A and B are shown apart, each in its own frame.
Chain A
Amino acid sequence: MPHHAHTAGTSPWDALLVLALLAAAAGYALALWRNRHRSPWPVHRTVLWYAGLACAAAATSGPLAAAAATSFTAHMAGHVLLGMLAPLLLVLAAPVALVLRALPVAQARSFGRVLGGTPVRVLAHPVIALVLDAGGLWLLYGTDLFHLAHRSSAVGFAVHAHVLLAGCLLTAALVAPPPRHHLASLRVRVVVLGVFVAVHSALAKWLYAHPPTGVAPQDGRTGAQLMYYAGDVVDVALMVLLVAGWYSATRPRPVVPERSRVVPT
């Protein structure tokens, strides 16, 4: 397809993206190293962090990103990796908890104050995160932004960064592991996730019928179905995590102040 002039990996913006991901990888390793004298950090969280960064890297540089310049299906595979799977893995890696453990007490306190403050509370509200994430998607596919992002690497960088960060924000607002400074009520989170799934699947069906200009119909249809079904997999994982949170929060507790307490097994 001739409509995408620039190819991945040739501009300073693409280098900046790679640097940001490398910094995230090094930062987590540094926090792990500073934690080495404390209780062990769960191995699965570390694995999740690097798997998430690998998904983000695969979506933004390398063969998949290069193919996305000409194939809508490859673009959509990258979109699901960068905007849905990578955020889920990165959020479950609990980077905030790791940083809080790694910082000296005074700095951890100020970081905690920032996390507890109003700007974070507003940004991390599920409804705001939903608007940023789903709104960004509609802008990308409903306007000329899709083509602009492929022509200009600065716009492409901004779109990639927004898709990843908004995805992380929404995932964290729904299923963040502790510490949860402003977790919204279960009802709000269920409704927001439901609305997100509905918007995402409606957008996939709309793209099936109306692919961006210049995309071949068959390529557009395959890409749209990939968005729909791969999106479903991540969405159902989010639902399971959300309801599992309810399940563990409502576990039966002993209600026996008078009787002698049974030691929990």
Chain B
Amino acid sequence: MAATPASRHPDHPDLDRRTVVSGFLFGCGIAASMIDLFVFHLGLQWHHFYDLSTPQVALAADAVFHAVGWFITVWGLFLLADVRRRGEVAWRRWTGALLAGVGAFQLFDGVVDHKVLGIHQIRYGVDLLVYDVVWIGSAVLVLVAGLVVLRRTRPDRSRPVLRAVPSDG
């Protein structure tokens, strides 16, 4: 089997790469659109719909993140379905990529959204330092855990690369 050109061919995507991209996008997406909504807005009610102190630029950035968050959630799931219809899904590898995605987004949220842009804070009326340390620390832990799983589930490159099998349908 030819090495790289085939992986660019739309009919033969590199399924390992697609598995990792799917897990990562879905992880970022659920962190952006679901963890924030269900845990912090509805569950703990630490976040407000809009705290009325956000600068205009940050509000625009937040709106863009919102759109991208839903899009990558949907896209990640469809990529997973695509890998699945072309062959076996490496679920441990996908889960590793998912963890890396959740960690990467939470880290981005904790550093860029909360601190650099100041779109909103984790909680209001409290000393933020502890919350920021826990948020960013846990994000780094999840990200590292995901990267470790990804490293340990790397496909054996000495064997033929996993590729899409031409399907009958």
Contacts and interface: CB of A to CB of B under 8 A. Distances in A.
B166 A244 contact: no
Interface string B13-27: 000000000000000
Interface in A244-265: 244, 246-247, 250-256, 262, 264-265
B59 A240 contact: no
Nearest to A194: B67
A190 B85 CA distance: 23
Nearest to B82: A247
B78 A247 contact: yes
A192 B62 CA distance: 17
A39 B74 CA distance: 34
Contacts of B151: none
Contacts of A199: 63
B64 interface: yes
Interface in B73-117: 74-75, 78, 81-82, 85-86
B10 A265 contact: no
Interface residues of B, number: 27
A190 B70 CA distance: 12
Interface size class of chain A, counting residues whose CB lies under 8 Å from the partner chain: 35 or more
Interface stretch (A45-53, A96-104, A205-213): A205-213
A157 interface: no
A190 B11 CA distance: 21
Contacts of A198: 60, 63-64, 66-67
Contacts of B86: 252
Given A246-B78, A247-B82, A201 B66 contact: yes
Interface in A217-245: 221, 224-225, 228, 232, 235-236, 239-240, 243-244
B67 A197 contact: yes
Contact of A252 (B59, B66, B71, B166): B166
B42 to A, nearest CB: 11
A194 B62 CA distance: 13
Pick the 3 closest A-B CB pairs, nearest first: A197-B67, A202-B63, A252-B167
Interface of A: 190, 193-195, 197-199, 201-202, 205-206, 208-209, 221, 224-225, 228, 232, 235-236, 239-240, 243-244, 246-247, 250-256, 262, 264-265
